[in-house]
């Protein structure tokens, strides 16, 4: 077998293998979707319509219990968020909470710091904690919606903000969105693109060798 025949055969084998590799994940994905045990379990248990009424009744009962316990419309309201007061930083620096949430500052550094409000909405009566200290705790419950800002007087640049809004849960959910949750199979796309690039490079490389890489002595000894 001369060099030209060998390169043609090798290129064909590598291209066929790459195409087979690219198509296998797609077929496997379709099979997984068809044989998903979770879907079969959901159909057997009748989650579509059979348990709909029971779920609604349970939801209504749980909602009534939450309302009686004071955990109604805003589940975050009435809870507690913690902010660490370290040396020259607040952690978290920016906080979004629902009305009625208590924020607790805990001193963890070795230097003395305070919490001095620099901005707050109309109607708010937050006085902060202007006394300097290097240990201990301080808390305040935020009921008025709006944006709050505070700073540490001895340390310029040590600032913090608090946003009080009924949409705190939606803001937090938007910030924590995982790209896989939006239904884009990123890894499979990368594999497919890499596979087709490999096929293209292999074909170009083979064409280059066949056209320019042969010598009269290696492929056709009798050709002049």
139 and 113 inside one domain: yes
Look at residue 159 in the predicted model and tell me its pLDDT: 97
Q: What percentage of residues in the chain have a pLDDT greater than 90? A: 40
Look at residue 188 in the predicted model and tell me its pLDDT: 64
- Burial bucket for residue 88 (CB in 10 Å: 0-12, 13-18, 19+): middle
65 and 133 inside one domain: no
Look at residue 99 in the predicted model and tell me its pLDDT: 94
Look at residue 167 in the predicted model and tell me its pLDDT: 85
Rounded to two decimals, the pTM is: 0.46
DSSP string, 166-178: TTHHHHHHHHT--
Which two tokens mark 93?
């620096």
Could you give the 3-state DSSP secondary structure of residue 73? Answer: coil
Q: Is residue 27 situated within a structural domain?
A: no
Look at residue 185 in the predicted model and tell me its pLDDT: 54
Look at residue 63 in the predicted model and tell me its pLDDT: 47
99 and 158 inside one domain: yes
The low-confidence residues of the chain, meaning pLDDT below 50, are 19, 22-34, 37, 41-54, 59-60, 63-76
Look at residue 191 in the predicted model and tell me its pLDDT: 78
Q: Domain limits at 130?
A: 80-165
CATH number for the domain including 100?
2.60.40.420
Q: Is residue 180 situated within a structural domain?
A: no
159 and 103 inside one domain: yes
Look at residue 74 in the predicted model and tell me its pLDDT: 38
- List of residues 6+ apart from 91 with CB closer than 8 A: 83, 84
57 and 114 inside one domain: no
Write out pLDDT tens, residues 149-178: 999 999 999 999 999 999 877 766 665 555
> Total domain count for the chain?
2
């Amino acid at each position: 077998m001369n060099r030209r025949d060998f390169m043609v055969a090798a290129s064909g084998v590598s291209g066929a293998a790459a195409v087979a590799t690219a198509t296998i994940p797609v077929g496997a994905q379709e099979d997984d979707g068809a044989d998903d045990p979770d879907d079969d379990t959901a159909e057997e248990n009748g989650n579509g319509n059979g348990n709909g009424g029971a779920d609604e009744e349970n939801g209504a009962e749980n909602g009534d219990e939450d309302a009686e316990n004071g955990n109604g419309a805003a589940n975050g309201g009435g809870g507690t968020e913690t902010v660490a007061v370290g040396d020259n930083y607040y952690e978290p620096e920016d906080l979004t909470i629902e009305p009625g949430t208590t924020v607790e500052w805990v001193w963890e550094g070795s230097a003395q710091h305070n919490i001095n409000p620099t901005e707050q909405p109309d109607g708010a009566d937050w006085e902060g904690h202007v006394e300097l200290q290097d240990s201990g705790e301080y808390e305040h419950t935020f009921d008025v919606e709006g944006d709050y800002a505070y700073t540490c007087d001895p340390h310029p640049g040590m600032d913090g903000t608090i946003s009080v809004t009924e949409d705190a849960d939606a803001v937090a959910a938007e910030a924590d969105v995982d790209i896989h949750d939006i239904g884009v199979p990123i890894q499979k796309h990368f594999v497919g693109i890499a596979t087709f690039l490999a096929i293209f490079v292999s074909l170009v490389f083979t064409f280059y060798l066949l056209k320019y890489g042969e010598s009269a002595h290696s492929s056709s000894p009798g050709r002049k």
